[in-house]
Chains A and B, each alone.
Chain A
Amino acid sequence: MSWARGGSDDQLLVQSAGIRVRVARGEILSGVDLEVRRGEIVTIIGPNGAGKTTLLRVLLGLLTADAGTVTLAPGLRIGYMPQRLQIDAVLPLTVRRFLTLTGRYPLAALQQVLAEVGAPETLESPVQGLSGGEMQRVLLARALLREPDLLVLDEPAQGVDINGQVELFNLLSRLRQERGCAVLMVSHDLHLVMAATDRVICLNRHVCCTGTPEAVQESTAFLELFSPQVQQSLAIYSHQHDHHHDPVTGKECDHG
C-alpha cells in the first residue's frame, strides 16, 4: 500500500482508496474508500469487529494495509485521541506532564486548552485520579494542543456517562465551529453520534453505506446492520434533537 502526503484538492484532508487489510482469520477490511474534507465531522459506525479501529490505524499510518492508498493533505496536522487510555499507577504523571510529553507549551496555553475542553481544574492532578470523562477531556486537550486540522477520535464516548456524552458531542460541534477543524471519529454508540455528524460511514469490513445521518438511517444496508430496536431508539432521538448551536466566536485555525 502507499501512505503519502500530497493531493491537489486543498479541501480534501484525507483520502483513502481500496484499503484492504488481511489478518490470519480473514479479511477485516476490503476495498474501503473514504474522504474527509476540511471542517467536516465524519463518523464511522458499525458493529463490533467491523474494522473501525483498524481503518483509523491505517489512516494514521500506525498500520500498513495490504493494499490501497492513503493520501493526506500536505502539512496536515492530526490530533489523535486513542481509545481508552489507562496509565499504570506506578508511573507518577500529572496532567500537566501528560499534555507536554511530545511538545512544549507555555502554561497559559495548557490552562486555556483545559478550560476549552471543560477540565480546567485538572492541570496538576495525577492522571490516574481522573474520572473516565475527565480523562477523555484531557486526551482531547492533548490532541487540540497540536492545533490540528483534523481530529481523529476513537470511541471518544467510551466510559463516559450519558450526560458526559451529550456534553462531549456538544463540545466537538463547538470545536469544529470555533477552530474549523475536521473531525473523524469512530463509534458504536449511535444515539448521540447521529446528532453531531455531517456524514456517517457505515462500516462492516466494507463500506455498507455513507451519507447524512438521515439518509443512512433510511438505507437498507443500515437496516440490515442494526437491529430494529436500535433503529427505533435512533429515530426517536433524532426527532427530539433541537438544532441548537453555540454562537461562533470567530476563532479559527490560524493555518491551512
Chain B
Amino acid sequence: MDDFLVRALVGGVGVALVAGMFGSFVVWRRLAYFGDTLSHSALLGVVLGYLLHINLTLGIIVVCQLLALLLFLMQRQKRLAGDTLLGILSHGALSLGLVLLGFVETLRVDLLAYLFGDILAIGRADLLWIYGGGLVALGGLARLWRPLLAVTVHEDLARVEGVPVALVNWAFMALMALAVALLMKVVGLLLVTALFIIPAATARRFAATPEGMAFGAAGCGALAVVAGLGASGRWDTPAGPSIVVAAALLFLLSSMLPQRSA
C-alpha cells in the first residue's frame, strides 16, 4: 500500500474514533447545528493562522475555541432563539472567512480541500495533530463523562444534585471545538457534522447503554472511513464525500436490521 494511503487510513480512523465518542453527545444534546457553526468558522482560522505565521491547524483550533466561548456566553441571553443565533454566527463566519481569503492575495489555498477535506494529503505532522489533539479531546471527555451525562439528561436536576453545570457545558463546548478542528482535515468543514451524527445514529439501534452507543459510533465511523477510502481508491471518487456516503449507507443498512430487544 502507498504511504499516503496508509497515512490517510490511520488519520481517518483516528478522527472517526474521536468523532464517534463526541457524536453521541452531539445527537443526545441536539448539537448538530452547533457543530456546523464551529466548523464553518474554520476558514477564518486558516486566514488567521496565515497572517500570524502560525500552524494553520492551530489557527483553526484557536478560532473554534473563541467561537465556542462566544456561543457559550451568548446562549445565556434569551432574546434570540438558539438556532437563529447559530445561523447568524455559522454563515457569518463562513462568509467572512471567504471574504478575508479573497483579501489576502498572497495566500493561495485549495478551497475545495477545506470545504470537503483532503484526507489523501494527510502528512506526518497532520497525524501528530490528529492523535495528539485526539488524545487530549478524548481524555477530557472521559473526565467529563459522568457530569456531562447527568446534565444531558436533566440540567436542573443535575444542578440541584451538585453538578457545576455551567463549567461542564463550557468544557464540553471547548473539547468539541477541538474535535471539530481535527475533523476538518478529513471531511472538510461542510461535512464535519456528518461524521459526528451519522455513526452515532447508526449505533443507537444496537446500544443498551450510553457508553455502548459511543463506542459503537466510533466503530461505525472507523468502518465508514475504511469503506469510503476503499471506494475512493477503486472508483476515483473524492475521498471525504465517499466516507460520508459510506457512513450514510451503513446507517441505511443498519435501519433494515432488526432492533435489539430493549
Contact = CB atoms under 8 A, between A and B. Distances in A.
Interface of A: 57, 60-62, 78, 80, 82, 85, 87-88, 90-94, 97-98, 101-103, 126, 129, 142, 146, 152
Contacts of A62: 156, 159-160
Nearest to A98: B153
Contacts of B158: 101-102
B210 interface: yes
A129 B161 contact: no
A80 B153 contact: no
Main secondary structure, interface of A, reads: loop
B258 interface: no
Interface centre among A57, A78, A97, A129 (most CB of B within 10 A): A97
A94 to B, nearest CB: 7
Nearest to B207: A92
Contacts of B161: 80, 101-103, 146
B31 to A, nearest CB: 12
Interface centre among A85, A90, A129 (most CB of B within 10 A): A90
B213 interface: yes
Interface string B139-154: 0000000110110111
Main secondary structure, interface of B, reads: helix
Nearest to B208: A92
A80 B149 CA distance: 18
Contacts of A101: 146, 149-150, 153, 158, 161
Contact-size category for B = 20 to 34
14 contacts: A60-B156, A62-B156, A62-B159, A85-B154, A85-B157, A88-B28, A90-B28, A91-B28, A91-B210, A92-B262, A94-B208, A97-B209, A101-B146, A152-B160
A56 to B, nearest CB: 10
Contacts of A93: 153, 209-210
Nearest to B158: A102
Contacts of A98: 153
B185 interface: no
Interface string B196-233: 00000100100111101100000000000000000000
A78 B159 CA distance: 11
Nearest to A23: B78
Contact of B209 (A87, A90, A94): A94
A126 B162 CA distance: 25
A142 B201 CA distance: 29
A209 to B, nearest CB: 29
Given A92-B208, A92-B209, A101-B149, A82 B157 contact: yes
A90 B208 CA distance: 11
Contacts of B154: 82, 85
Contacts of B210: 91-93, 97
Contacts of A103: 161
A60 B153 contact: no
Given A90-B27, A101-B153, 12 more contacts: A61-B160, A62-B160, A80-B160, A82-B154, A91-B152, A91-B210, A92-B208, A94-B208, A94-B209, A101-B161, A102-B162, A146-B161
Contact of A102 (B27, B150, B212): B150
Closest 7 CB pairs of A and B: A101-B150, A102-B161, A80-B160, A91-B28, A92-B207, A102-B150, A126-B262
Contacts of A102: 146-147, 150, 158, 161-163
Given A62-B159, A82-B154, A146-B161, A90 B149 contact: no
A152 B159 CA distance: 14
Nearest to B162: A102
Nearest to B260: A92
Interface centre among A61, A85, A101 (most CB of B within 10 A): A101
Nearest to A128: B262
A211 B28 CA distance: 44
Interface centre among B152, B153, B207, B262 (most CB of A within 10 A): B153
A246 B131 CA distance: 62
A80 B162 CA distance: 12
